[in-house]
Structure formats: C-alpha cells, structure tokens
Amino acid sequence: MLSADEIGVVLFTLKIACLGTLLILPPGTAVALALARYRGPGKGALETLLSLPLVLPPTAVGILLLEAFSRRAPLGARLASIGLDVVFTWRGVLLATSLMSFPLLVRSARSAFEEVDPRLVGLARTLGCGPIAAFFRVTLPLAWRGVLGGTVLAFARALGEFGATVMVAGNIPGKTQTLALAIFHDNQIGRDDRAVVLAGVTVAVAFAALWTTEWMTRRRSRRAEP
Amino acid sequence: MIELSVELPLAGFTLRVEAALGGRLTAVMGPSGSGKTSLLEAVAGLRSRCRGRIVLNGETLLDEARGIRLRPERRRLGYVPQDAGLFPHLTALGNVRFGARGKTAQVDGAIETLEIRPLLDRFPASLSGGERQRVSLARGLAADPRLLLLDEPLAGLDLGLRERILPYLLRIRDEWSVPMLYVTHNVGEALTLADQVLLLREGRVEAIGAPVDLLSSPALVREAASGIENLFTGSLLSHDRDGGVTRVDLGGRVTVATSLAAERPVGSRVTLAIRAEDVLVVTGPVEGLSARNVYEARVDAVERTGDDVTLRFHLAAGGPPWLARLTPAAVRDLRLRPGSAAWLAVKSHSVHFV
C-alpha cells in the first residue's frame, strides 16, 4: 500500500504538525487571553496583524520568511552561526506551518475566552486564587472547548500547509517533504495514483482528529449539564 | 471594624467614601448607580483604580500612601454577587470547597448553616435561584473570610423566596462572627438585618446611622428605596376568615388590617410595609369608606421629594411615624402643613408582609 518512503513522509508530517501545535499552544493561548481581556489602544492593529497569515497568499508569507531567515539576512545569519539553519531544513517546515496555523488557534481560543464572564475570574481571586490559579481553575475549564477546537484546527492546518512551506523549506524528499508537498510532487511527475493514496491518508488523519475532538466535547458536555 | 477612605473614578462621577464601620452588618443603600457595587468591588480588591486606604480589623488592605495594595486573593473576603456567581463547571460542593483550602470543618459548617447538603452533587444549571444563592453564601463562608461582601443577595428572588433565605442570613450574622457589608434596595431587609446603614448618593456618603433613624426620615428613605415605605413591626392578632382580613397589633393602640394571611401563626412577630403613595390623606372625619384602616393623625413634617411631597404624620393612637406621598397640588388644596389634623386611610390590600 504505502512504500517505506511514503510512510516516512506521513510520519514526518505528523511529527511536524504535532510539534508545531505543541509549540504554538502556550503562546497562542496567552495571546488569545490577552486579546480577549485587553481593552486599549493598539488592540485592533494587533488583531489584524495576527490574522494576516489567514488572508495573505501562503507563498507571500513564505517569501517574507525566506528573506528573513536566509543566511544573507541578519536574523538568518545569527541562527546559522549557532547551527540553526532554517531555510531548506525541517526547521523551516516547522516555522512555516506553525506561523500559518497560529492565527487559527488564537481566533478560536480568543472567542472562547471572551465568553468567560470576567466576574467569575474576579470571584476566584477573592476566593484565594492568584491570576495563574484562577486561569487554570476557572478560565480554562470554562473555555477548554474553544481552545481544543482551535488546537485541532491549527493541527489540521499544519498537516496541510503548502505554500509557505514550499517557499522556505523547498520540497526535498526525505528532508523537508510533507504530505501536501508529496502529493504535489507525485502529480507533477505523473504519478497521480500515488497522489490519490497520499490524499486518502490526509483525509483519514484529519477525520480522526476532528472526530476525536467532537467526541470529547460531546462526552464532557453531557457530564457537565445533567 | 472597617475603616474606609477610598476614591474610585467611575463613569459619571468619582466614588468617595470616608467611613468607619463597626457592627455586625452594615447595609449599603442608595439609588441605582450610586456606587454601591463598585464600593464592594473596591474593598474586595477588584478595582485597580481604587485609591486611598482600607483597613480591616487593624490590617491594612490598601494604603496608597504607604504603597500597600493587597491582591484580592490575599484579602480573605467572601464575595457574594447578586446572581450568585457560581462556577458553572463545578458542582455545588466544588463551588463551596473552591476557596476553602482543605478546611473541612469550615466547609461542613457552611453546608450545615445553609442546609445545602442535598444539593451538593448538582451543577449550578440545575439549581433554582434560591438554591444558588445559598450555595454562593456557603462558598463565601467556607473560605473563612474576615468580611463578607453581599451584593443584593436577595434581589433576583420573588417575595416568598426572600422570606425563606432571610433566616439563613440572620443565622450567618448571629452564629458566624463575620462582619458583613450588605448592599440592598430593600428597606425591610435593612431593618431586619443591619445594625448600621451607609447611604450612598452619586458616590458620596449621604448618611451613616442606625437603620431606624435613617429609614424613618423621609429625605433619606426617598433615596434608599425604590418606593418610600412605611415599615412597622408588630405581632399578629387574629385572622378573620369570613371578613378576609388578618389583624396586626403595632403597639400603642394601633392595629392594621391586611388581606387574609392565614398561613401566619397568631402571635408571631411580623414586619409590614405600606408604600407611602398608598396612604390616603383626608382632612375631614371619614365615614363610609371601604378602606379598613383609618387613623386620626397630625402632620409633623412636609418635604418636597422630587416631583412629589412627602409628609410625616404621627397617629393619635401612638406608634411609629407614618409617611404619605402626595402631589404638590393635593398638599396645596388640602392646606396641609406641620400641625394640620388629618385622617390616614389604607386599604388592607396595600399592606404587605415583608
């Protein structure tokens, strides 16, 4: 069914998507909470900036990343000097997929946090919780569905990211090739049969992720509302 | 003992409160938007823009000058908001335990006092308004607070339910030695519970004093309550089932007839409320009037209150003063002034149990 190379591609893609999702979860949650609570100047600009990757052509994001992280740019040069080459490496794949999926997590988590009555958080404070304890004992338990939903969306986006990844990391079999890139590659060399098989794999993975989320959400909601 | 000297900018004005509050329960009263809830939140530490000084039993919670600002979680206060504010993802027990830090004796005591043991497994969504309020009170108590802040805990409840929760509040006041700040619009609650009333108006302290002193003064009551109320305590004399009335002895030689309240035992202490606009004022002797309560009285004071005029009377038969609210035109036509003789008439249906 799947060749050893193809299994490698699937595993690499899953690894990148999992790692990227874990990586963006803490900062994404923090940014979402800040956006949900903060009222003041700069909020609109910040929100717009964070949503940009959703509306820009992924290749545009990719070319900007390529410019910033190439060895010719100051940032890229600094990273390369400590052995962290980004361009045309798996780190580039991670960077591109994480950046593209970040806004999905933030948007979903932010609206969930906005639903949490800030007075409940205040009450938790009067009952002896510091800000962090109040987050874990009240805010997160009330908003976890939205955070989980955003996490799954981000994971799915990371699985399928193409445009930004191909610009930053190229399409190097065995090195930076993800499922989305492999499907394109197979099609380009006339192996549509292999492309269809790989497409089937992406359908299965995405379906499993979404369905598990759906199931968890429903199970928990039955328990919480007798 | 709570010493307050706070300033908090609000939307329309700045809340400025200077007060030293002793006593077990202080009722915070005043019209909507006078800053009552903001004051409680400032004491709880939830208003970061609050400046000044708050000292509770000798411990400084806030002192701008000395750079002290205790975080809300360090103040050890119980806060019970108007809508109970229960955590929807926790059972009643989870809520009560939330701030208790494993003090099981405290948790058990709170559960017993509020009689919520049968509710403990249930989630807030399945509790009635009164049950939620009791769980919220228990949660506040279980945290072993040094001060309870209650924001109109009975406001969302219907009259029957209020009467059932009130004894729990009395029990907390009498059995737990926790001082309370209690925001309310209801003069009856303040009279029943408070040993002190703090009256706010547009962010300023209009008066501090004993409930009976403040709440029988028309000028202050007009701000304190939604409607001016005559509040009397007395003992239940008799039920007249055929006549459809219940009679209450108010002391002196004054009895008041109310519509039949047969469920109340004869001899029990009751509080009656009569809205000031439900009191009819007649300048001649009354005959053939359907109102069951007619009293000979004399005007003590006449005061313009907004668009209306509030008059204070004393009855020839003795007892506490009565308030009536009339239009300025009626006062002019009847030539009512301090010293005028008059008769007061009240329908039995206008007399309410508090």
Domain stops at, among B164, B193, B224: B224
**Which domain CATH number covers B250?**
2.40.50.100
| Residue A130: per-residue pLDDT | 93
Indicate the pLDDT class of residue A220, thresholds 50, 70 and 90: low
Amino acid B93: pLDDT: 95
Please judge whether B72 and A125 are an interchain contact, meaning their C-beta atoms are less than 8 angstroms apart.
yes
**B47–chain A Cβ distance below 8 A for any pair:** no
- The pLDDT of residue A225 is 46
Number of domains in chain B: 2
Distance separating alpha carbons of residues B250 and B232, to the nearest angstrom: 7
| Contact partners, residue B227, CB within 8 Å, separation at least 6 | B275, B276, B277
Q: Is 70 exceeded by the pLDDT of residue A217?
A: yes
Which residues, 6+ apart, have CB-to-CB distance to A148 below 8 Å?
Answer: A213, A216, A217
Helix (H), strand (E), coil (C) string for chain A = CCCHHHHHHHHHHHHHHHHHHHHHHHHHHHHHHHHHHCCCCCHHHHHHHHHHHHHCCHHHHHHHHHHHHCCCCHHHHHHHHCCCCCCCCHHHHHHHHHHHHHHHHHHHHHHHHHCCCHHHHHHHHHCCCCHHHHHHHHHHHHHHHHHHHHHHHHHHHHHHCCHHHHHHHCCCCCCCCCHHHHHHHHHHCCCHHHHHHHHHHHHHHHHHHHHHHHHHHHHHHHHHCC
Residue B86, φ and ψ in degrees, nearest 5 = -75, 150
Architecture of A4-224 per CATH?
Orthogonal Bundle (1.10)
B118 and B10 in a common domain: yes
CB-based contact A201:A10 (threshold 8 Å):
yes
Q: Of the residues B196, B224, B252, which one is the last residue of a structural domain?
A: B224
A126–B81 CB contact, under 8 Å: no
Task: Provide φ and ψ at A190, rounded to 5°.
Answer: 80, 15
**Are B288 and B333 in the same domain?**
yes
Domain with B251 in it? 229-353
Do B298 and B165 belong to one domain?
Answer: no
Residues B72 and B185 in one domain: yes
Contact call for B72 and A225, based on CB within 8 A: no
Last residue of a domain, which of B197, B224, B251? B224
Spatial separation of the C-alpha atoms in residues B123 and A226, rounded to whole Å: 7
Q: Which two tokens mark B149?
A: 């802040």
Q: What is the DSSP letter of B234?
A: E
Say if residue A221's pLDDT is above 70: no
Say if residues B330 and B283 touch (Cβ distance below 8 Å).
no
Distance CA A207, CA A150 (A): 15
DSSP E strand boundaries for B241-316? 245-249, 255-259, 269-275, 280-282, 293-305, 308-315
Question: Is it the case that residue A58 has pLDDT exceeding 90?
Answer: yes
Q: Are residues B193 and B245 in the same domain?
A: no
A182 touches chain B (CB under 8 A): no
The contacts of residue A96 (CB under 8 Å, 6+ apart) are A61, A62, A65, A161, A164, A165, A167, A168, A169
| Residue B166 shares a structural domain with residue B258 | no
Q: Tell whether B12 and B123 lie within a shared domain.
A: yes
Type of residue at A89? T
ipTM over 0.90: no
Q: How close B87 gets to chain A, by Cα (Å)?
A: 7
What would the mean pLDDT of A103-126 be, rounded to a whole number? 94
Choose among A128, A130, A225: nearest Cβ to B123.
Answer: A225
Residue A77 has a pLDDT of: 87
| Residues of chain B falling short of pLDDT 70 | 159-160, 215-229, 305-306, 354
Q: With a CB-CB cutoff of 8 Å, which residues 122-161 of chain A face chain B?
A: 122-130, 133, 137-138, 141-142
Residues B187 and B238 in one domain: no
Sign of CA dihedral A95, A97, A99, A105: negative
Mean pLDDT of A198-215: 90
- What percent of chain A clears pLDDT 70, i.e. is strictly above it? 97
pTM of the complete model? 0.73
pLDDT tens across B192-207, in order? Answer: 788 898 988 888 888 8
Question: Is the distance from CB of A125 to CB of B71 less than 8 angstroms?
Answer: yes
Q: Do B46 and A122 touch (CB under 8 A)?
A: yes
- B318 with B191, same domain: the answer is no
- pLDDT digit string, tens, across residues A158-180: 998 999 999 999 889 889 999 99
The dihedral built from the CA positions of residue A132, A134, A140 and A141, taken in this order, carries a sign that is positive
* Cα torsion through A175, A181, A183, A187, rounded to 10: -100
Q: B123 and B65, same structural domain? A: yes
- Are residues B192 and B128 both part of a single domain? yes
CA dist A95 and A80 (Å) reads 15
